[in-house]
């Protein structure tokens, strides 16, 4: 039986560069790399807000490809963000991404409506505390509303009795 491999710690001075590298990996669609980097930063700076947010986004980037329940971990991490706007906005992002992943898994649209509605509620919360000139939460809310609208229209077009 192999013994557990102990992870190496990065130096505090390397944190800014590590976070830049993590963002690059997210943009390259390599969320596992970004997740690992965020965890390395958080191992030495537990409250690093950029690393917490990177980890949340890296986890949600993986919703469509990994079947583990990382939504729970993402929501827990969001609670440690200090900024009320970011907490609410990124909670909405996580819920929206979770709903999209469940839809891609083949769940019927009506089965994911609750997740979309929860995301919309988070975006509304973010809207109330958003910085001046920041309408990101409104844009995301509108996207969710359009998703629900499409779902409703699809259901109305479906035959009532399987005809």
> Is it the case that residue 128 has pLDDT exceeding 50?
yes
Dump pLDDT digits (tens) for 77-89: 999 999 999 999 9
Give the pLDDT of residue 159: 43
Instruction: Identify the band that residue 15 occupies on the pLDDT scale cut at 50, 70 and 90.
Output: very high
Dump pLDDT digits (tens) for 39-61: 999 999 999 999 999 999 999 99
What's the average model confidence in pLDDT over 138-157?
82
How far apart are alpha carbons 78 and 135 in whole angstroms?
A: 20
78 in Cβ contact with 92 (< 8 Å): no
Q: What is the token pair recorded at 161?
A: 């009795």
Instruction: Mark which of 50, 67, 82 sits at the end of a domain.
Output: 82
0.85 exceeded by the pTM?
yes
Instruction: Mark which of 26, 52, 82 sits at the end of a domain.
Output: 82
77 and 119 inside one domain: no
145 and 89 inside one domain: yes
Say which range, 34-38, 62-66, 149-153, 158-162, has the weakest mean pLDDT: 158-162
4 and 27 inside one domain: yes
How far apart are alpha carbons 6 and 49 in whole angstroms?
A: 25
93 and 132 inside one domain: yes
2 and 36 inside one domain: yes
74 and 88 inside one domain: no
30 in Cβ contact with 37 (< 8 Å): no
Q: How far is CA 1 from the centre of its chain?
A: 36
Instruction: Mark which of 82, 103, 121 sits at the end of a domain.
Output: 82
Residue range of the domain that includes 42 = 1-82
65 and 142 inside one domain: no
29: left (phi over 0), alpha (psi -120 to 50) or beta: left
Instruction: Identify the band that residue 160 occupies on the pLDDT scale cut at 50, 70 and 90.
Output: very low
7 and 69 inside one domain: yes
Q: What share of the chain is helix, strand, coil (3-state, %, to 5)?
A: 70, 0, 30
89 and 23 inside one domain: no
**Helical H segments across 62-83, by residue range:** 70-78
78 and 97 inside one domain: no
Instruction: Identify the band that residue 64 occupies on the pLDDT scale cut at 50, 70 and 90.
Output: confident
93 and 77 inside one domain: no
């Amino acid at each position: 039986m192999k013994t557990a491999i102990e992870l190496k710690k990065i130096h505090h001075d390397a944190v800014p560069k590590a976070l830049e590298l993590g963002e690059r990996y997210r943009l390259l669609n390599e969320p596992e790399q970004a997740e690992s980097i965020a965890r390395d930063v958080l191992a030495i700076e537990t409250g690093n807000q950029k690393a917490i947010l990177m980890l949340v986004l890296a986890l949600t980037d993986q919703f469509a490809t990994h079947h583990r329940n990382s939504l729970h971990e993402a929501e827990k991490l969001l609670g440690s963000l200090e900024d009320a706007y970011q907490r609410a906005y990124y909670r909405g992002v996580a819920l929206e991404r979770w709903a999209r992943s469940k839809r891609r898994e083949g769940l019927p649209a009506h089965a994911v409506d609750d997740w979309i509605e929860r995301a919309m509620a988070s975006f509304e919360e973010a809207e109330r505390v958003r910085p001046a000139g920041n309408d990101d939460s409104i844009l995301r809310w509108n996207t969710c509303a359009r998703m629900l609208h499409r779902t409703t229209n699809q259901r109305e077009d479906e035959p009532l009795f399987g005809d």
